[in-house]
Chain A
Amino acid sequence: MSNSIKTLAIDGLWKNNPAIIQLLGLCPLLAVSNSLINALGLGLATLFVLVCSNSLIAITGRWVPDYLRLPIFVLFIASLVTIVQMLLAAYRFNLYESLGIFLALITTNCVILGRAEAYAAKNPLRFAIADGLLQGTGFLLVLVILGGLRELIGQGSLLHNAQDLFGPIAHNWGIYFNSDQSGFLLALLPPGAFILLGCLIALRNYLDLRKKSPAQLRSSS
């Protein structure tokens, strides 16, 4: 069992990372990663929905006839997203506003339906939860790295507006590297998101290649 959880962890975080290997859910990933706090907020929301939907689907999966599978899964996912959206609007209104439509679009994030179909429906509850947690964390990590890089390059700060996510105690968590919050604007704009994500994917592939021995490389090419 520990072996299986370990496989899930390697898969979710590195080998089969939803964001930089499967390239799923790129629309929110690119749109909302313009600051560390936005990225963290959306990442946590996605992680929560993924864990809940994976567990719901692992519990109900065996009663659901095959041809009703998709509508029921989508119904679960959409409801979970709606709940997250309503709760965020009630407790973290500023974050809810800056995430905007991309919060509702978690419903259509292929990572979630993908994990439901490919894993949760066929596996026992505890593995489904672990899978949701680890895939969600993999997605969250990429989102946070991208958001942090874009905020740092684009406006020379980190954790700006941290109170939107962490509440009033976080009012002075922001770290500012220049006084007027200006930087290399391109990083904040959509093209910057594509370029930086491209760099992350390249970096990951490079690290992966370096681990393989020359013999393995030859046989795989």
Chain B
Amino acid sequence: MKNIMLFVFIAIAVTAILAAVYLFSEPRKLAQIESKQQNIVQGMLAGQDVARTEYFELLAPQYLHLGDTQQAQRVYDKHNNISAVILTALTDRAYAGRIGLLVAINTNCSIASVEVLQSQETPGLGDQYKQSDGAWLKNFSGKDLDNSDWRMTKQGGDFDAWTGATVTPKAIVESLERVLQLCEAHHNALFSELEIVYLEQ
């Protein structure tokens, strides 16, 4: 009995210490995540007329591959018009695990820019989007469903795969195409002032 009390006491003491460290470190961690995301977003919007960005909540059923719920952003220009929407798209069809993409789309539903948020692809093969300063990803800017064929070059489309890795670029291209389709289907809701947007078929 005495020993059980000793164990419980140690457990409580340790938990208290952990709680204290958590309370102290969690705000800093959240700030770090926030500033990292903001850095990426700023990089994506470099050279554009951006007055402010505003978060909104995007809810989507699983099969749309946007995560259940996410904090998406609307970009406003200095005339207070929405110039772009930034959202996260996920794909599980890559070679190793999930790829998370941060996609900025223009009001005419074309890609403004794309960044890879998370990926566990094979270094040197599946992460060739990093090469030459992300040239492959920059290539998507301005592409939409009408002006491009969203298949790989091998299938007669407009997008090149990489030497040694075909699955990863295909997954990224598919994921971007899906985002554009969603944009066309839900354009009004995405580019509105709604604080919560729920995407349904």
Contact residues of A with B, CB < 8 Å?
Answer: 34, 63-65, 68, 71-72, 75-76, 79, 82-83, 86-87, 89-91, 93-94, 154-155, 180, 182, 185, 188-189
Contact = CB atoms under 8 A, between A and B. Distances in A.
Chain A interface mostly: helix
Kindly list the 9 A-B residue pairs having the minimum CB-CB distance in the complex, ordered from nearest.
A90-B28, A90-B25, A93-B32, A185-B124, A89-B29, A86-B25, A79-B14, A90-B29, A188-B123
A84 to B, nearest CB: 10
B200 interface: no
Given A65-B3, A188-B123, A75 B25 contact: no
A86 B6 contact: no
Nearest to A67: B3
Given A185-B124, A188-B124, A68 B6 contact: yes
B140 to A, nearest CB: 22
Contacts of A83: 17-18, 21
A65 B1 CA distance: 12
Given A79-B17, A87-B21, A182 B124 contact: yes
Interface residues of B, number: 23
Interface of B: 3, 6-7, 10-11, 14, 17-18, 21-22, 24-26, 28-29, 32-33, 36, 122-125, 131
B14 A185 contact: no
12 contacts: A34-B123, A63-B6, A64-B6, A75-B10, A76-B14, A86-B29, A89-B29, A89-B32, A90-B29, A91-B28, A93-B33, A93-B36
